[in-house]
A and B are shown apart, each in its own frame.
Chain A
Amino acid sequence: MEAIRLVNLNKVIRKHPILKDINLSLDKGKIYGFFGRNGSGKTMLFRAISGLIKPTSGEVYIFGKKLGSDISFPESLGIIIESVGFWPQFTGFENLKILASIKSKISGEQITKAIKKVGLDPEDKRLYSKYSLGMKQRLGIAQAIMEEPDLIILDEPTSSLDEEGVQLIRQILIEEKKRGATILISSHNKEDIDFLSDEKFKMDNGRLYHSQDRGG
């Protein structure tokens, strides 16, 4: 089944083309890796797929539904985009509880499970503002997977993690794939992309290339 289809996707911001004529079809239940230099358009592509920005032209389909007309954002999505941000005045658990209350799909136990899964302590009474960068990133990943979404978009999910954290996240993503989730991941760490991805894509100056198309 097709999870994502992009048709002639373009995004122009202040007369500057950010995404250029992108066509893409991704199947359900696979991990897709995206790599490229800073500013190549990876993050903007993820934003377009998650409905955070509106394409200047072109179409985005998520599980057969058109973004912007059938749905305003993917209905079952877990996401991290660039820096992870939560409310600093709450604990990790409280932050996830607030977010989970929006959909009211999962219980406190499932939040606890997601927090434990990323190697954090759900009973930790420290406020988020006291977390280290690595802990913040882990909490971001817990937030992305806690509701068992069909589509997971992770922009640089391992950038602040130590080796043990990287291994843990890789393991989690493999489990999520087995569950049936479609995962899009971007990383500066080529090893992450090579290890995890079923298919790889390179972004360069707003254009998307299948890694087999152009020596990725």
Chain B
Amino acid sequence: MYTINRKYILKLLTGLIFAFFIGISALSWVKPEGPYFEKLFLIGYGGIPLPLEIKSYLRSMLSLLVPQVFLVFILADYMLIDFTICSVYVFTRTPKRNRWFIRKAIELFFFTALFYLFQFITLFLIGQISGLAVSDIPVFINLIANEFVLLVLISFIYVLAVNILSLKIGINYSFLAVVLFISFSSVLTFKTNLIKFIPVSQSMLIWHENKSLLFYRDLIGDYIPNFTIAFSIAYALIVILLLVFIGIKLIDNFEIVGFEKEG
């Protein structure tokens, strides 16, 4: 019983504007350094070069976080709207409220992945039009796949969190809470002894220790020793499972009082 609302796909498409600006801005760095797609993607969505410097930090953090916050913003009301529409009709037909929650979570994951797919396709087209080439196909695929997985998983954490919170405290407060959390945790990345465990760090591909990234270290800066992509994926999966558990508990004990609204 997936009830995906196509208007959200249109909303995701509006995010292409960020991909366009990120692509154009990254292009100006890539071209003098070597006209390769790998570099475009690493500069565009790979993260902020280490060691962190305030100037590059602000520029890169904005380009990385603004699309993420935008994604959280457009999906923040997804569960709550569905809940207000159908909670009475659905939850008087089945005691398995957790199924509803898991379906909604899967739909949100789909939207999150779609958002980055659109972003990456746009970036690829910008590179294509600008005459970039792939220097090493296996490396390119490895980088793109890792970057995509990390961005999708970490963004999904924020998207899921805002949706769970909105069931409890409403859309505005939950969005504010998640944005504050992202902002706060991004500032914490300056605290180097904690950097490996901060959510924002997990989506920074270039901070990870990875063989494919070695060729590009001159361009993308240092990495955090022993900070592997597998660690970040495990980190994200644990947090997602925790959020799903919290969401199911919340929805199981939820009292449906005056939520109904016209669809």
Binding site for B on A (CB under 8 A): 13, 43-44, 47, 50-54, 71-74, 77, 79, 81-90, 98-99, 101-103, 128-129, 136, 143
Contacts and interface: CB of A to CB of B under 8 A. Distances in A.
A101 B257 CA distance: 25
B263 A88 contact: yes
A102 B256 contact: no
A89 B85 contact: no
Contacts of B85: 85-88
B89 interface: yes
B92 A79 contact: yes
A13 B92 contact: no
Given A73-B95, A136-B262, A90 B3 contact: yes
A86 B263 contact: yes
B91 A52 contact: yes
Given A53-B255, A77-B92, A82-B258, 19 more contacts: A47-B256, A47-B257, A53-B256, A54-B255, A73-B92, A74-B92, A81-B260, A83-B261, A83-B262, A84-B260, A85-B84, A87-B3, A88-B85, A88-B263, A89-B5, A89-B6, A99-B90, A101-B1, A102-B94
A47 B91 CA distance: 12
Given A83-B262, A136-B262, A13 B257 contact: yes
B211 interface: no
B191 interface: no
A47 B87 CA distance: 12
Nearest to A13: B257
B188 to A, nearest CB: 36
Listed from nearest, the 8 A-B pairs whose CB atoms lie closest are A52-B256, A88-B263, A102-B93, A85-B85, A53-B255, A72-B95, A83-B260, A85-B263
A85 B6 contact: no
Contacts of A74: 92
B: contact size bracket:
20 to 34
A103 B93 contact: yes
Contacts of A86: 85-86, 89, 263
17 contacts: A51-B92, A52-B91, A53-B257, A54-B255, A71-B95, A85-B84, A85-B85, A85-B261, A86-B86, A86-B263, A88-B85, A90-B3, A99-B89, A102-B93, A102-B94, A103-B94, A143-B89
A79 B88 contact: yes
Nearest to A103: B93
A102 B263 contact: no
B86 A85 contact: yes
Interface in B2-35: 3, 5-7
Interface in B83-112: 84-95
A206 B97 CA distance: 29
A98 B262 contact: no
Contacts of B5: 87-89
Contacts of B256: 47, 52-53
A82 B86 CA distance: 12
B185 to A, nearest CB: 33
Contacts of A13: 257
Contacts of A103: 93-94
B263 A87 contact: yes
B9 to A, nearest CB: 11
Nearest to B82: A87
B86 A87 contact: yes
Nearest to B95: A72
Specify which of B1, B86, B89, B94 lies most central, judged by the most chain A CB atoms within 10 Å of its CB.
Answer: B89
A82 B89 CA distance: 12
B6 to A, nearest CB: 6
A27 to B, nearest CB: 22
A81 B90 CA distance: 13
A77 to B, nearest CB: 5
Contacts of A54: 255
Nearest to B7: A89
A52 B6 contact: no
A126 to B, nearest CB: 13
Contacts of B84: 85
Contact of B260 (A50, A71, A85, A143): A85
Contacts of B255: 52-54
A102 B261 contact: no
B1 A102 contact: yes
Interface string B241-261: 000000000000001111011
Contacts of A81: 88, 260
